[in-house]
Structure 1
Amino acid sequence: MKVGESTQLRRVIGYFHGTIFLFSIIIGAGIFIAPKGVLKYSSLNVGVSLSIWAACAVVSMLAALSHAELGTTFPRSGAQYYFLKRSLGPFVAFFYLWINLFSTPAGIAARSLMLAGYITQPFYPGCFVPEMPKKCLALAILWCLGILNARGVKEVTWFQTVSTAVKMTVLGFISVTGIVLLVRGRRENLARFEKAFDADVPDASQIAEAFLQGLFAYSGWGVLVRIAGELKSPSENIPKCVVTALTLVALIYLLVNVSYLSVLTPKEIMSSDAVAVSWMDRVIPSLQWAISLGVSSAIVSSLNCTVFSTSRLWCMASQEGQLPLILSTLNIHSCPVAAVIQMLIFASILIIPSDLILLINYVGFTDWIQLGLMMMGLLKLRFQEPNLSRPYKVPLPFIFGSIAISLFLILTPLIKTPKMEHVYGLIFIFSGLLCYWIHVHLNQHSVSFVKVTCYLQLLFNVSPPEDHNEGISTEKSDLKEIFL
């Protein structure tokens, strides 16, 4: 660190790289695996399936724009946590943190194993990949991303830009090729779209399940609120980035699904374990490696963005006193490296016994529980603190719409078709009550704990941010010329 520099999170991410971050985390493995799930719960109805993809884009835009008010009103890293603590109290904030402490590492572990499987599969043609090399490679990928994050924002943003360009090239190829094949295709391919709504129409429960499958491919739109403390002009850039990124993502997703359906029948998609691979087998088998490259780049960039944004959330929770103080410390690259290391340790533990990664299935619907809580907190704060400075103010119908959608997506599967994973998920979520009671009533800041924190600071070469309340630098840094 240069003499005179402060140890703080720096506002160095502009509009372009903010949009890249949204692309990176949203366009992950979802577009390669969710089409099958959406089609399944749409009763193989092509018209309903494409309509749900379009509706998911609208729902995600609605939720993201509503969510954006949090980051513009409280422009600090981990804004969701800080907002929930201020609006609904420390228990709800801990409840949100409790879910993220386990579901995020579980999701990271699952995607790391998926990525390792894609990379190692060509070395084991015609048979299953052994678990040991796959897990070792997943661990190696995970810790390489940790090292990259420890190097600071500059390296992370350039990595995201390159990996996003690769996966966008592959998705663009699929989209354009599918449209060309559809225009020049055979009559039966066109008939698939002309009679798009002729199949059975799904019921309300199936539509809710189809929405959850499609929304999985759009998940991650809240990343800019988590890293609001490192965004330039967050009140202006967060809404602009959300509108730009989600509009382009929606267009790409629709074109990719049309491309899949122009080559494969709904039944062929349902019988495929990897829709993109089956599509390429039918179109240009010799370019099979391109799909693997696209899937790999999509997963790794989404993983990297998740590690980057979640470490900021944990850093904020540490500053607020609900996680150990060491997690709020920064290294010479202004990175909360201790939070990154803790996340990687949790994810590594979940990689070793692979069945534990099923935890992500039990808490998959908690994203919409969290969004519902945030929208209720937003509504409460509108009436409780009407004079609070709000550079960007979302219309009230957007808030009520987001709450209604959250309730529909949470309650419909629970009431219509309850499953054991829903019960396990609720048990896990409400076990946070016990942990919160332990945290509040039994937390003892002993001398030995302070000594451990000091030793860890020396080990990682980290220090608390100079402005502990914010941890944000508003000054222009020497990196400004590389960001738009």
Structure 2
Amino acid sequence: MTDTPTPKVATTLKKQFGLVSATSYITGSIIGTGIFISPTVILEGMGSSVGLSLLVWMLSAAVSFCGAMCYAEYGTRVKKSGGTYTYIREGFGDLAGFIYLWTNLVLLRPLSVALSVLVCAEYVMRPVFLACPDLAPTAAKVMLGFLVAGLFVVGNLYSVRLAANTQTIVTVCKVTALSVVIVTGIIHLVQGNTENFNGAFKTINFKPGGVVLAFYAGLFGYTGWDATNAAVEEVIKPYRNIPIAVFVGLAIPTLIYVLANVAYHAVLTNDEILSGIAVAYVFGERKLGVFKWVILACVAISAGGNVNSNIFIFSRINFVGGRDGLFPRFLSMISVRRRTPQPSIIALFIPTTVFMCLGDVKSVLGAYVFFRVGGECLAVAAFFFIRRKHAAADTTYKTHWVFPGIYVVSILMLSVTAVVDDPGKFLPPFVIILMSVPLYYMSRSRWWKRLHLNTVNKWITLICHRLLLCEHASQRIE
């Protein structure tokens, strides 16, 4: 009698995210550096008008909500992880999917992580250089940024559960700190200090380019509502948890952002807000006394939480791209023991270190948001294609068709205005992105696969297998 061979267990990502974890990832991804950088940019772009600045925050939330509702349906209709990449590929094919993967790899995610860790380093070092914060050595900020990014990379390599719990804790810290700001500002208003709101809609030096940058800063503040969609395959009961997580995860930051900005404007004058990005620190100096150090710590934690969520999202996008065969296959390898996409996580850390060496990436905020929301706009534009391609089930969440229409039209209007106003700012990133087109066709050709690149891919796969104990992910999605 011959022994029946034991069937091989599929190597897949494990379902570990419940409603709380999924909501925390979205809320934690949104509440980060944006609330501490964007107020200055928005107020300046709207001609120092307090009323118009608050209106930008609310309109940015409304536009983000329209896109998020489309993703809520995608999460219950398309059973694949990958988020924006998956939806672009499902709607427009492999070439469009590859272009988005390339843009994320060389531009978007490394910039986002570098921005977060540098802001974190800026606030951590501010107490050391209290008298002269502008004299803090750039090299010291970069080295501290390496340490922060490295800690979160190790955490994501070690355990999905550890990364998720970290994100939950970080989210609680963020909400608590901003709640202190909000309560302090409301008390200040109740005491009758409303002079900063006199002439709220009066503008100074109002320009179209500034308005676009203000809206981009507002949208930057709300980026992150796509976090859970990047890991649909790891969400427990996605048909229920994803729509709730998307709605609640975006509603909480919206309420907090509007109230926090009311508090900022109630306590601080326009000149104080426009003096620099450290709005929360200036607020703490004015109203919180020694508790201003708590604000510094909370800003650092918020920025660190953004690093954690970016590592989580981007590693899943690269993982799915490798599994689909558009990116090198070693990116789709999973640690057999940890069930984390370790090669994909490490692949994010390498280009991030390059951008961190620049020392300051805040000057490219407009270009970053332009291409970030541009990808999401393309994914939302595929709304009706995806509906035809993936039939709805009884558990599929359905959103109204007006939401994708509003989102696409709004983003297109901003994008066209931005390019017309300052085309030189977007030319270099466009060139980098267009490089992906010949790369895609070269990677599809037979002669390319016969070159040394294939050998390099095999060696990296072997190293991941031997050192990281990783295996290729199963093509079957559970």
TM-score clears 0.5: yes
Q: Which amino acid aligns with 1:52?
A: V
Q: 1:66 maps to what in 2? A: 70
Could you tell me how far 1:204 is from its partner in structure 2? Answer: 5.0
Could you tell me how far 1:35 is from its partner in structure 2? Answer: 0.6
Q: 1:348 maps to what in 2? A: 353
Which structure 2 residue ranges, 5 or more long, are not aligned?
Answer: 1-6
The answer to whether residue 160 in structure 2 is matched with residue 153 in structure 1 is yes
The C-alpha deviation readout for 1:406-441, integer Å capped at 9, x for no partner, is 1012111222x1242122222222222222232223
User: What TM-score does the superposition give when structure 2 sets the normalisation length?
Assistant: 0.91
Q: Distance in 2 between matches of 1:449 and 1:52?
A: 47
Match of 1:118 among 86, 109, 123: 123
Could you tell me how far 1:155 is from its partner in structure 2? Answer: 0.6
2:449 is paired with a residue whose SS is coil
The C-alpha deviation readout for 1:359-385, integer Å capped at 9, x for no partner, is 665443012211221122222333x43
Equivalent residues of 2:45, 2:206 under 8 A apart: yes
1:196 is paired with a residue whose SS is coil
1:443 is paired with a residue whose SS is helix
Q: 2:3 maps to what in 1? A: none
In the superposition, relative to structure 1, how do residues 231 and 278 fare at CA in structure 2: closer, same or farther (>3 Å)? same
Q: 1:462 maps to what in 2? A: 470
In the superposition, relative to structure 1, how do residues 439 and 355 fare at CA in structure 2: closer, same or farther (>3 Å)? farther
The answer to whether residue 340 in structure 2 is matched with residue 335 in structure 1 is yes
Equivalent residues of 1:111, 1:303 under 8 A apart: yes
Could you tell me how far 1:353 is from its partner in structure 2? Answer: 4.1
Equivalent residues of 2:67, 2:403 under 8 A apart: yes
Q: Distance in 1 between matches of 2:101 and 2:256?
A: 33
Q: Which amino acid aligns with 1:373?
A: L
Equivalent residues of 1:41, 1:209 under 8 A apart: yes
In the superposition, relative to structure 1, how do residues 385 and 460 fare at CA in structure 2: closer, same or farther (>3 Å)? closer
Could you tell me how far 1:207 is from its partner in structure 2? Answer: 3.0
Could you tell me how far 1:24 is from its partner in structure 2? Answer: 0.9
More deviation in 433-442 or 192-201?
192-201
1:10 is paired with a residue whose SS is coil
Q: Which amino acid aligns with 1:36?
A: T
Could you tell me how far 1:451 is from its partner in structure 2? Answer: 4.3
More deviation in 202-211 or 172-181?
202-211
Could you tell me how far 1:280 is from its partner in structure 2? Answer: 1.2
Equivalent residues of 1:160, 1:301 under 8 A apart: yes
Could you tell me how far 1:40 is from its partner in structure 2? Answer: 0.9
Q: 1:367 maps to what in 2? A: 372
Could you tell me how far 1:110 is from its partner in structure 2? Answer: 2.4
- Determine what percentage of the aligned residue pairs are the same residue: 27
In the superposition, relative to structure 1, how do residues 108 and 52 fare at CA in structure 2: closer, same or farther (>3 Å)? same
The C-alpha deviation readout for 1:128-148, integer Å capped at 9, x for no partner, is 222333222211111111110
Match of 2:458 among 450, 465, 478: 450
Q: Distance in 1 between matches of 2:408 and 2:112?
A: 25
Q: 2:297 maps to what in 1? A: 293
Match of 2:264 among 260, 275, 299: 260
RMSD: 2.3
The answer to whether residue 286 in structure 2 is matched with residue 279 in structure 1 is no
Equivalent residues of 2:82, 2:230 under 8 A apart: yes
Q: 1:144 maps to what in 2? A: 151
Could you tell me how far 1:203 is from its partner in structure 2? Answer: 5.7
2:475 is paired with a residue whose SS is coil
Equivalent residues of 2:32, 2:305 under 8 A apart: yes
More deviation in 302-311 or 113-122?
113-122
Equivalent residues of 1:14, 1:232 under 8 A apart: yes
User: What TM-score does the superposition give when structure 1 sets the normalisation length?
Assistant: 0.90
2:334 is paired with a residue whose SS is coil
- Aligned residue-pair number: 463
The answer to whether residue 441 in structure 2 is matched with residue 433 in structure 1 is no
Q: Distance in 1 between matches of 2:361 and 2:273?
A: 28
Q: 1:38 maps to what in 2? A: 42
